[in-house]
Amino acid sequence: MNNHVVLYKKLSAPLMQRLQAHTEVTLIDDPKSAAGLACLRDALHKADGLLGASLKLDAALLDLAPRLKVVSSVSVGVDNYDIDYLTKRGILLSNTPDVLTQTTADTGFALIMATARRVVELANLVRSGQWTQNIGPAHFGSDVHGKKLGIIGMGRIGEALAQRGHFGFGMPILYHSHSPKPAVEARFNAEYRSLEDLLKEADFVCLTLPLTAETEGLIGAEQIALMRPETIFINIARGKVVDEQALIDALSNQRIRAAGLDVFGHEPLDKGSALLQLDNVVATPHMGSATFETREAMARCAVDNLLSALNGERPANLVNPDAWSVKR
């Protein structure tokens, strides 16, 4: 048991026992606190592997880990990591795709339904005792079935969202991706659109793409202005893909109908955010993969990736394959 793992995310008892059976483990509680970060910095000098999520690991921090072989992220997104730096050092980076695809798509469709039918707003009306008569046009929502579902980023989650819309709700599927996807078009009768045309045509605009240098700020005031007043905007990707202030302006002035947001430019969302003052916003706490089953599956996948790498094997979910050749 020569490998040492620094764990900055709590695991279930079975997974913790498995990890401890093969490695020495240092668990860092609350790594985002000053005390937790200090403990992490102190532990990095002996780390052969890191396992965790939701913590930005930059070069200045990882320079403290000269023995590091692998970073196993309990996530799909890898925007918290300097991939070029890791690759140059031959440090493997792994993530947990696939296991959260269906659950995150469920969340996306929940936001579609909640915004279109004004579920949160009207539930609060009942809870506050203001439901005193049958609701009228002032509280009507929008149909979902048969409406055009526009998906920006047709990866695993985008496909799962298209499946729900096409087969479950009879929605015509429009999509924009870095390239056309004939298999998706055949399966869902989907139609490829330029970003501009999708924004003009879709009744629901849903973001499911990763945050990269190319996608940061992809949806700004100019793009939002292309949407129609009836458009509902859904983001289950990353908050920084969107100019949040431009979105607030559009929602405040009813230039688009509503937004369902599970991600934000800064998380947790500030209590003073204007988004929280708008009735036409459904805001959830980055809960896309937050079910008992999926979070356990993600953690299990991350442990598998980590142990494979420490055993000298190529992890199943290697993000930076060039690091494998550097390592070897």
pLDDT at 189 over 80: yes
Whether residue 323 is found in the same domain as residue 176 = no
Is residue 190 within 8 Å of residue 184, measured between CB atoms?
yes
- What are the two backbone dihedrals, phi and then psi, of residue 289, each rounded to the nearest 5 degrees? -105, 15
User: Where residue 327 falls among pLDDT bands split at 50, 70, 90?
Assistant: low
Question: Is there a single domain that holds both residue 268 and residue 318?
Answer: no
| CATH number where 211 lies | 3.40.50.720
**271 and 139, same domain (yes or no):** yes
Total tally of structural domains belonging to the chain: 2
pLDDT in tens, 255-294: 999 999 999 999 999 999 999 999 999 999 999 999 999 9
Do residues 96 and 302 make contact, with C-beta atoms less than 8 angstroms apart? yes
32 and 163 share a domain?
no
- Per cent of the chain over pLDDT 90 is 97
**Total Cβ atoms within 10 A of residue 272:** 7
The dihedral built from the CA positions of residue 31, 33, 39 and 42, taken in this order, carries a sign that is positive
Confidence grade of residue 1 (pLDDT, cut at 50, 70, 90): low
165 DSSP assignment: I
Residues 63 and 162 in one domain: no
User: Which residues, 6 or more positions from 289, have their beta carbon under 8 angstroms from its beta carbon?
Assistant: 100, 103, 104, 107, 295, 298
In angstroms, what is the C-alpha Rg of the chain?
Answer: 22
Q: Is the peptide bond before 268 cis (omega within 30 degrees of 0)?
A: yes
pLDDT at 231 over 80: yes
**Structure confidence by residue, pLDDT tens digits, 164-174:** 999 999 999 99
Q: Terminus-to-terminus CA distance in the chain, angstroms?
A: 21
Question: Same domain for 60 and 191?
Answer: no
Region 191-205: what's the mean pLDDT? 98
Instruction: Determine the Cα–Cα distance for residues 180 and 192; give it in Å rounded to an integer.
Output: 6
Q: Are residues 110 and 184 in the same domain?
A: yes
**What is the distance between the alpha carbons of residues 8 and 80, in angstroms, rounded to a whole number?**
14
Per-residue pLDDT averaged across 166-187, rounded?
97
Interatomic CA distance for residues 144 and 147, integer angstroms:
6
Domain span holding position 279: 101-283
Is the predicted pLDDT of residue 3 greater than 80, yes or no? Answer: yes
User: Which are the catalytic amino acids?
Assistant: 238, 267, 286
Pair 309, 253 in one domain: no
Residue 113 and residue 257 in one domain = yes
- Give the residue-averaged pLDDT of 108-137: 97
Residues 24, 94 within the same domain? yes
pLDDT score of 2: 85
43-91: pLDDT as tens digits: 999 999 999 998 999 999 999 999 999 999 999 999 999 999 999 999 9
Which helix (H) or strand (E) segment holds residue 301: the answer is helix 292-310
User: Above 70 in pLDDT, residue 207?
Assistant: yes
On whether both 150 and 240 belong to a single domain, the answer is yes
Name the pLDDT band for 202 (thresholds 50, 70, 90): very high
The side-by-side arrangement of strands in the sheet containing 49-52 is 24-27, 4-7, 49-52, 70-73, 92-94
How high is the pLDDT of residue 328? 59
251/129 same-domain check? yes
Angstrom CA distances, 232 to 122, 151, 165, 172, stand at 17, 12, 15, 15
